[in-house]
Structure formats: C-alpha cells, structure tokens
Structure 1
Amino acid sequence: MSRSGGAVVEKTSPVLRTHEAFYDAIERGDLDLMTSLWLPGDDTVCVHPGSEPIRGTSSIMRSFAMLMASVGYIQFILTDVTVTHRGGIAIVSCTENVLSEADGEEPTVFAGGRGAATDVLVETPTGWKLWSHHSGPVMEG
C-alpha cells in the first residue's frame, strides 16, 4: 500500500494499473494503448523532460508517436511511487529510472537517467484516465 496525504491506495488499485499501463505503452511502443489511457479533449497536458507543455490529447498522441518511433529499447524502473487520492481525482508521483539505447551507439550500449514524474488521473465511467503527465530530469550530484 502507498500512503500519501491521508489516502491509502492498494498496489493493485485501478489508479496504479493505469499508471503502470502508461509506462508499458511507452516501453512497447503501443500508441493504441497510450491513446486509451488519456482523457480526450483540449484540456489535457503533457510535459516531456526538457520540453514545453503540450496541450490537447491529439497533440500529446502525436508527441508519443514521434517518441516511440525514435526510441529503440527503453525500460522504466519506477521507485518512490506515491498516490494521493481524493474523490474522483488521483495524483501519482514517482521517480523514473530509465534505461535506453545510447544515441548513436551500437544497440548493446545503454544509457541511464532519472526523472521525477507526476500524473493526474480522473475517474471516468470507463476507468481512470490521464489528465496530465509531467516528467523532468533529476540532476545528479
């Protein structure tokens, strides 16, 4: 269980299943899965590390399509996952420990990095959907 802000959430909660599916979609390059996880509309927002905010689900999906097309191998190991849950809104924060192919290197050479991420999810009749994802780099040392 995670405890944050007075709310207790089971590790197998629908909120965390949606959160984990988000990272699975990136790792597998599954744009259909990614699309199914987001609220439709112009009020969604996504901030990729080092980038300006992207607004609107269709623009966010284009950004993930480009990301998935340009990244070979990528794996996320999530740590420090916390959930705050109030009514029909949940906030999930975590540390993204990322392993990916190094740019311009042989496929067997990997690079690592860390990011801090916050996701805002909204409960809908069809399950929990992402309203916002924000990830930024964690500077070492």
Structure 2
Amino acid sequence: MSETALAVHRAFYDAVETGDADLMATLWVDHPRVSCVHPGAVPLRGTGAVLRSWTVLMANVSYIQFFLTDIDVTTFPLGDDEPTMAVIVCTENILSGEGMSSPDAFAGGKALCTSILVRDPSGGRTAGDWKFWSRHASPIADLGTEDR
C-alpha cells in the first residue's frame, strides 16, 4: 500500500515541476479542512485556497526540480488492516532558477516536508485513490560547512 501512496506523492512533485495545475487538482481531497503550509508562510485552508496557491507558484517559477531524500512512509491503521492514511516525511532538495541574475544560474535550497494522504473518501479503492489532505514544508537553514 505504501507504494501507491508514494506514487501519488511523486505525482505531486511531477505536477509542480511541469506546472500541471490539472494534475495538481486531481491529487487533493476536496474539503474545506484540507491544509497546506508553504515554507515560511501561514497555513492555507480549503482545497480552493490550496490549489490557487500552487497554481500561482507554478505560473511564476520558470524552473524547479525536487530531489527527495530521507523518505519515510507510515501508514495507518498499523497492522493487518487496509491503511486509510499515510504520513510521508522527506527532505526536499530544491533546484530552481528563480531570482538568479543569469538565465544559466541556479539556486538550491532544502525543506523538510510532511504530507498526509488519505484514501479518497468519495470513491472506490483503486491505486490512485490516495489524495493529499495536508502538506507542511519548512525550510532547512544552511548553517554552512565551515569547521568550528
């Protein structure tokens, strides 16, 4: 089961990297309590607000790519029952061309991300029925690698 949740999780990053607002819209539960916290921002509530934020971000970023590391998946309920919720924690290693003076220059950054996916309450049980309920990303400060 964690493989199907991970496939939906990866589809989220594919949507951001390709600017696919339609794909992004298929990945979220449609509910007023859905939430998303972008790095350094206040929480957004409701599917409409969340999807608008991603559409604006994708429209204003010419290039972005995510390299995910330290991926950890926990599904609930634990045990033999079919899971209805997955918590995915990962490190986002982000490569972007935004804010750079040269068109050939890139900037990098890191964020710690926690995503909560649930089995889509509106329908059947297919591989794609996992959907995002909540996502929270926090920037990871670069404290440098100099010896202290």
Do Structure 1 and Structure 2 share a fold, with TM-score over 0.5? yes
Partner of 1:38, secondary structure, is: coil
Give the 4+ runs in structure 1 shifted more than 6 A: none
Q: Are residue 96 (structure 1) and residue 98 (structure 2) matched?
A: no
In the alignment, the residues of structure 2 paired with residue 39 and residue 114 of structure 1 have an alpha-carbon distance, to the nearest angstrom, of 26
Separation in 2, partners of 1:107, 1:74: 13
Superimposed CA distance per residue, residues 48-101 of structure 1 (whole angstroms, 9 cap, x where no aligned partner)? 000000000001111011101110100000000000101301000000000000
For residues 13-37 of structure 1, what are the alpha-carbon distances to aligned partners after superposition, in whole Å with 9 as ceiling and x for unaligned?
A: 1100000000000000000000000
Which residue in 1 is equivalent to 2:134? 132
Question: Are residue 116 (structure 1) and residue 112 (structure 2) matched?
Answer: yes
The structure richer in strand per residue is: 1
Other-structure match for 2:70:
80
Kindly indicate whether the alpha-carbon contact (under 8 Å) linking 2:62 and 2:98 is maintained by their aligned counterparts in 1: no
Residue aligned with 2:141, SS: coil
CA contact (8 A) 2:32 2:46 kept: yes
Long gaps (5+) in structure 2? 77-82, 144-148
Shift of 1:102: 3.7
Q: 1:5 matched to which residue of 2?
A: none
Report the CA distance between 1:43 and its aligned residue: 0.7
TM value normalised by structure 2: 0.85
Pick the aligned partner of 1:16 from 6, 28, 40.
6
Any conservation in 1 of the 2:87–2:114 contact (CA below 8 Å)?
Answer: yes
2:94 maps to amino acid: V
% identity of equivalent residues: 47
Alpha-carbon distance, 1:106 to partner: 2.3
Q: Give the Å deviation of 1:104.
A: 4.5
- SS of residue in 2 equivalent to 1:62: helix
Is 1:61 matched up with 2:51?
Answer: yes
Normalised by the length of structure 1, the TM-score is: 0.89
